[in-house]
Amino acid sequence: MAEPNIDAYRACTRSVTEWFVSTLEGDGTIRGERDLIAYYHAPNLLAACDRAAEAQRMASWLADNALAGDGDFRYEDKKGDIIQPTMQWNYINGWLTWGLARLGRFDVSEPAARFLERFQDEATGGFLTAANPDAGFSPIAGAVDLGSTCAASLGMIYSGRWAAASRAGEFLLRVVETQGRAEAFHCRFHSDGSALTDFTDDQAYVSVVRFEQPKQAYWYFGFAARILALLYRATGRSKYLEGALGYIEVFDRCHEDRWEHWANDKVAWASAALYQITGEHSHLERVARCFNPIVAAQRDDAVWHWAAFFPTYDEQPSGITIELALEFAFLLHEIVSEIDSR
């Protein structure tokens, strides 16, 4: 059985944190980078790795420069060149709300949480994916998706909005219950609960997981399972644990590439929580099979080149490089703590 390489996980988190701190300016910004995709994991990673002063400086910069009056995160009225209003507009908001609340920066996290709440779909309990920049970045009704819902759920959970988090959890349960044995797994939905199927080719990756094909968005299953595991911890209700295990079962139906495509990192994150909850070693093996190869692929300069999407490292946007490194490092920190606590 594959085993998580805990020492390597710790070393990976440490090397990324040291590298990232070396890129920070005195005002809390990342040297030469203003795309907010590079920032959203930073408060959590810095706070978790005993770099709270740097995290606080970044929080202050975000408060002064990237927190809009409505509670959205925008720098010069956009999130950057990568995240667009048409798809998963609030994805980074949920993570930032969590990280800033961890720091006690409620002056930033509470307005952000209130903005997120506006995007919860009344009919489904999921979170709307798009915003209208011509109407003050108000939510566009009619399309919810798993990624937006899971990220917003982090914001709801860690800001204490349990009613909203529970409604999102019910949405996640319905999604896996209604298509856990389907031939493909849809990830975007209309407000009536039906799958959104009229997507363009360039939207396919975030719209549907096709079990027989490689390089799918496996992270949806891990993120949903993680949120449901958190709700199980909070409530003790077995349906949430069963739902989390249901998403893992769906992941296990995917192409063998699921162990190689780095979009599986959140599956490892969820599996660490499930191991901590159940003690079942199958979850440890899943952590190892997902994350051991990722850790082994870390470059000497502490970052990663995601060749599945960018043929050369130079073609990989700097914001993606930072996002990827910080996500891996932070999830590994969480994974190690949960495994060690058992």
Range of the domain at 212: 6-340
Query: From CA 24, how far away is CA 10, in angstroms rounded?
Result: 22
DSSP structural state of residue 140: P
Query: From CA 267, how far away is CA 225, in angstroms rounded?
Result: 8
* CATH label of the domain that carries residue 118: 1.50.10.10
**pTM assigned to the model:** 0.97
- Tens-digit pLDDT profile for residues 31-55: 999 999 999 999 999 999 999 999 9
Distances (CA, A) of 168 to 45, 100, 104, 303, 317: 25, 21, 24, 33, 32
Query: From CA 184, how far away is CA 179, in angstroms rounded?
Result: 8
Can you give the pLDDT at residue 1? 80
In a domain, residue 33? The reply is yes
- Tens-digit pLDDT profile for residues 289-332: 999 999 999 999 999 999 999 999 999 999 999 999 999 999 99
In a domain, residue 139? The reply is yes
Instruction: State how many domains the chain has.
Output: 1
In a domain, residue 205? The reply is yes
In a domain, residue 125? The reply is yes
In a domain, residue 158? The reply is yes
- Of 189-198, 203-212, 239-248, the range with the highest mean pLDDT is 239-248
Specify burial of residue 163 (Cβ count, 10 A radius: 0-12, 13-18, 19+). exposed
Phi first, then psi: give them for residue 145, nearest 5 degrees.
-145, 160
In a domain, residue 210? The reply is yes
In a domain, residue 118? The reply is yes
Position 90 confidence tier, pLDDT thresholds 50, 70, 90:
very high
In a domain, residue 283? The reply is yes
Distances (CA, A) of 316 to 81, 167, 295, 304: 13, 37, 19, 10
- Tens-digit pLDDT profile for residues 160-183: 999 999 999 999 999 999 987 788
